[in-house]
């Protein structure tokens, strides 16, 4: 395993942060924010983010190595691929093996290890028809092109991706493409946040960097409970280095002042009321249901399932009504990583049996997974 990277002095050189046209990655602005963070952090604090893109940026741009030693930044359950449960992966594999089925999924899904290390990619190599698509609409087009087959789209992701899936179901219904089917593994962030806070592990998290993409859709109101019920501050942050550093500085200031509020530091993209049209699409097609999360178990009303009027598109009901009861791989510590109980490199398999080229768990699969990000950028 590679040695841990030592933390760097917080002054950034001209090339320390990747160059873009955005002031939000300007090295001088980032350096100024880092100086404030170092100056104002007066006690050990543990912050968690719940967005795979935040995870990737924090590692890719080296922010984790520039923060004070006493500020622990944890990547929580914010990567859609990572939170997908073993039983859901097993059901996808079972569905893919059925006669007449074409499975359509995003590329990352092909590599998530299921029971016995089987993946959708390996299932494809063994004869199942599994296609990578770039949108749910691609899957619908596949269904139109193959009317004699059932095309199953594997829908993963949070409130960010659910509207596009919902719009595709509506189009399938309008066009009568009844051989299109959706395996919905879509999940909702606020119930997971509440589950984290309600359990003992949540007691060790001082504040939350809230996900910018999800917040574009749901706005800020659904997070209020973290301040009002659990006394924790939260800040919606964007995805450039300065966005993240500014959000962390706001969290430090609120924590120091004993204030618990939910603030929006990503105002150029997130409206406090969210995107009503996107939410209307979700509400038209889906309803909340209990869902399995890797590491967090079954969380009430944290998933999105098709409403009764769209049941004919429900791949799960049609092909795998009961999720297979498969045991979790005891060697993989992804569940502990997603709950912030261990850092990726504290998993005994990190960088040994488990690497992006040969992932043991989903956190090493996606570029948004914390193990993959730690391997790529912290080695
Ligand atoms: S290093 Fe691999 S096995 Fe360990 S927690 Fe990460 S993904 Fe899972």
According to DSSP, the β-strands at 297-306 and 286-293 are antiparallel
Report the predicted TM-score, pTM, of the whole model to 2 decimal places: 0.90
Rg (CA), the chain: 21
Distance from residue 127's CA to the centre of ligand 1 (Å): 28
pLDDT tens for each residue of 187-201: 999 999 999 999 864
Distance from residue 52's CA to the centre of ligand 1 (Å): 16
Q: Which atom of ligand 1 is nearest to the CA of 347?
A: 4
Distance from residue 271's CA to the centre of ligand 1 (Å): 36
Q: Can you identify the CATH homologous superfamily of domain 1-379? A: HypD, alpha/beta domain 2 (3.40.50.11740)
Instruction: Assess whether the C-beta atom of 374 lies below 6 angstroms from ligand 1.
Output: no
Instruction: Assess whether the C-beta atom of 347 lies below 6 angstroms from ligand 1.
Output: yes
Distance from residue 353's CA to the centre of ligand 1 (Å): 9
Instruction: Assess whether the C-beta atom of 350 lies below 6 angstroms from ligand 1.
Output: yes
Distance from residue 61's CA to the centre of ligand 1 (Å): 22
pLDDT, position 379? 62
Instruction: Assess whether the C-beta atom of 210 lies below 6 angstroms from ligand 1.
Output: no
Tokens 């079954």 map to which residue? 298
pLDDT, position 203? 60
Instruction: Assess whether the C-beta atom of 338 lies below 6 angstroms from ligand 1.
Output: no
Q: Which atom of ligand 1 is nearest to the CA of 337?
A: 5
- Nearest residue by C-alpha to atom 1 in ligand 1: 350
Distance from residue 305's CA to the centre of ligand 1 (Å): 29
Q: Where are the domains of the chain?
A: 1-379
Instruction: Assess whether the C-beta atom of 332 lies below 6 angstroms from ligand 1.
Output: yes
Distance from residue 210's CA to the centre of ligand 1 (Å): 24
pLDDT, position 16? 42
Distance from residue 120's CA to the centre of ligand 1 (Å): 19
- Nearest residue by C-alpha to atom 7 in ligand 1: 361
Q: What is the 3-state secondary structure (H, E, C) of the chain?
A: CCCCCCCCCCCCCCCCCCCCCCHHHCHHHHHHHHHHHHHHCCCCEEEEECCHHHHHHHHHCCHHHHCCCCEEEEECCCCHHHHCCHHHHHHHHHHHCCCCEEEEECHHHHHCCCHHHCCHHHHHHCCCEEEECCCHHHHHHHHHHCCCCEEEEEECCCCCCHHHHHHHHHHHHHHCCCCEEEEECCECHHHHHHHHHHCHHHHHCCEEEEEHHHHHHHCCHHHHHHHHCCCCCEEEECCCHHHHHHHHHHHHHHHHHCCCCEEECCCCCCCCCCCHHHHHHHHHHEEEEEEEECCCEEEEEEEEEECHHHHHHEHHHHHCCCCCCCCCCCCCCHHHHHCCCCCHHHCCCECCCEECCECCCHHHCCCCCHHHHHHHHCC
Q: In the chain, which residues have pLDDT < 50?
A: 1-19, 21, 201-202
pLDDT tens for each residue of 22-62: 777 888 999 999 999 999 999 999 999 999 999 999 999 99
Instruction: Assess whether the C-beta atom of 372 lies below 6 angstroms from ligand 1.
Output: no
């Amino acid at each position: 395993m590679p040695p841990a990277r030592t933390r760097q002095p917080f002054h950034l050189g001209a090339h320390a942060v990747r160059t873009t046209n955005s002031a939000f990655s300007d090295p001088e602005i980032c350096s100024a924010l880092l100086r404030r963070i170092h100056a104002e952090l007066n006690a050990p604090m543990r912050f968690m983010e719940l967005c795979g893109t935040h995870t990737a940026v924090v590692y890719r741009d080296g922010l984790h190595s520039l923060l004070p030693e006493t500020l622990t930044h944890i990547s929580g359950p914010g990567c859609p691929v990572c939170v997908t449960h073993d039983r859901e992966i097993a059901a996808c594999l079972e569905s893919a093996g059925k006669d007449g089925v074409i499975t359509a999924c995003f590329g990352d899904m092909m590599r998530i290890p299921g029971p016995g290390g089987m993946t959708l990619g390996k299932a494809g190599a063994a004869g199942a028809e599994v296609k990578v698509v770039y949108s749910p609409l691609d899957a619908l087009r596949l269904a139109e092109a193959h009317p004699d087959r059932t095309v199953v789209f594997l829908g993963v992701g949070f409130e960010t991706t659910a509207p596009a899936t919902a719009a595709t179901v509506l189009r399938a219904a309008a066009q009568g493409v009844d051989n299109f089917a959706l395996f919905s593994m879509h999940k909702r962030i606020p119930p997971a946040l509440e589950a984290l806070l309600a359990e003992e592990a949540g007691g060790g998290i001082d504040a939350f960097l809230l996900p910018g993409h999800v917040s574009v859709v749901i706005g800020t109101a659904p997070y209020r409970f973290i301040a009002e019920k659990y006394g924790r501050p939260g800040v919606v942050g964007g995805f450039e280095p300065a966005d993240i550093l500014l959000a962390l500085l706001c969290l430090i200031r609120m924590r120091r002042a004993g204030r618990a509020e939910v603030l929006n530091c990503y105002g150029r993209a997130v409206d406090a009321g969210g995107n009503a049209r996107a939410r209307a699409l979700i509400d038209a097609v889906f309803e909340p249901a209990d869902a399995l999360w890797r590491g967090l178990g079954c969380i009430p009303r944290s998933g999105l399932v098709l409403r009764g009027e769209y049941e004919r598109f429900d791949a799960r009901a049609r092909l795998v009504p009961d999720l297979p009861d498969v045991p979790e791989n005891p060697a993989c510590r992804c569940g502990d990583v997603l709950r912030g109980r261990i850092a990726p490199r504290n998993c005994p398999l990190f960088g040994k049996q488990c690497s992006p080229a040969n992932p043991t768990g989903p956190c090493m699969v996606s570029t948004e997974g914390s193990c993959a990000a730690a391997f790529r950028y912290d080695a």
